[in-house]
Amino acid sequence: MPIHKEGFRVLLIALVVFGAICALIWYFIGNVALYIALLLAAPFYIFMLRFFRNPKRIATISNESVLSPCDGTIVVIEEVDEPEFLKERCIQVSIFMSVWNVHINWYPIMGEVVYHKYHPGKFLVAWEPKSSTLNERTSIAVKRPDGVQILFRQIAGYLARRVVCYARKGSKTEQGEEMGFIKFGSRVDLFLPLNSTIKVDIGQKVKGTQTTIAVIPQK
């Protein structure tokens, strides 16, 4: 499977570090210690290769559907006030991404990026409710051609220390187009209009670009 571009530098550095450590072990201790070091390092490097995998997916385009922006598990479905941009009552749907999930993020709807803001913050565990407002995060709002707006947030977790976002205000988006990447365990929050019909349940596993999170009627 192809490796995502965000993993190239990390994987190269890890390979150099592992190689240097193994060389030092072989030089100072010997072959047996080298074999042990290789047995310990190989599974970790394979895990990193798997983490940065880049599956090729084809989204089923739908004007009214909100596709999942990531792989993971639904951990929150509730009505909340969204004070940052939408400034109205919304339905929040949150998806927790474990280290075993693909960590690419995709645009859930087509339209135009009308808001983009990075927030520095803490690194609470991603399933902690306070992580939505306290953790490092990036907020993006997209407006559909019919005027419907949704907001979604990439949220760093306890292990995730870098949120990568390709969105820029004013740019056009395609449903299922790659939007960013979060490194090592994280969460994505969606804020949807109250007239949305939610198509997922708490605890459900979802797949980015493939699972329909909600349906929002056109205006």
Sheet of 72-82, strand order: 172-173, 111-119, 137-143, 149-156, 186-192, 88-97, 72-82, 205-206
Q: Is the dihedral of CA 215, 155, 85, 89 positive or negative?
A: positive
Q: Please check whether residue 11 is in contact with residue 3, taking contact to mean a CB–CB distance below 8 angstroms.
A: yes
213 closest CA partner among 64, 68, 61, 91: 68
Tokens representing 68? 């999942």
Exactly one of 68, 131, 186, 196 is catalytic; name it.
Answer: 186
Q: Which long-range contacts (CB under 8 A, 24 or more apart) does 58-61 make?
A: 58/176, 58/209, 59/106, 59/175, 59/176, 59/209, 59/210, 60/210, 61/110, 61/175, 61/176
The one-letter amino acid code at 196 reads: S
**Is residue 171 annotated as a catalytic residue, yes or no?**
no
Beta bridge partners of 78: 92
Chain mean position to CA 115: 18
Tell me which residues are annotated as active site.
186
